[in-house]
Amino acid sequence: MHQDTNNPTLTPQQIIDSYQRAYRQVHGQEPHVTHLFAEWYQVQGETVHRVTLFGEISRLRGLSQHQRTITTDKTLVQRLIARLRRI
């Protein structure tokens, strides 16, 4: 599972890994993320604070879950259509 993003003991690398994993699941591409200093990161060329990055990780995870739900629903509908066609 994923780590609690509000955990103050997370290392910058763990935060970066978490963001990259969430971004990859939604967009299918590798994001460019680097730790600058203290609680600041550079994400896709934009400087963001750690709290903002946590919010983006949560948003991406939500999108990923929504995409999986849609895919599951489509698969279910497609199976029902296939059954009806066989009747």
Residue-wise pLDDT tens digits, 45-85: 999 999 999 999 999 999 888 877 766 766 777 778 888 88
Please state, in angstroms and rounded to a whole number, the distance separating the CA atoms of residues 84 and 87.
5
Give the residue extent of every domain in the chain: 12-86
- Tell me the pTM: 0.70
The answer for residues whose C-beta is within 8 angstroms of residue 5's C-beta and 6 or more apart is: 15, 18, 54, 57, 58
Please state, in angstroms and rounded to a whole number, the distance separating the CA atoms of residues 23 and 15.
12
- Coil, helix or strand at residue 73: helix
pLDDT tens digit string along 15-34? 999 999 999 988 889 999 99
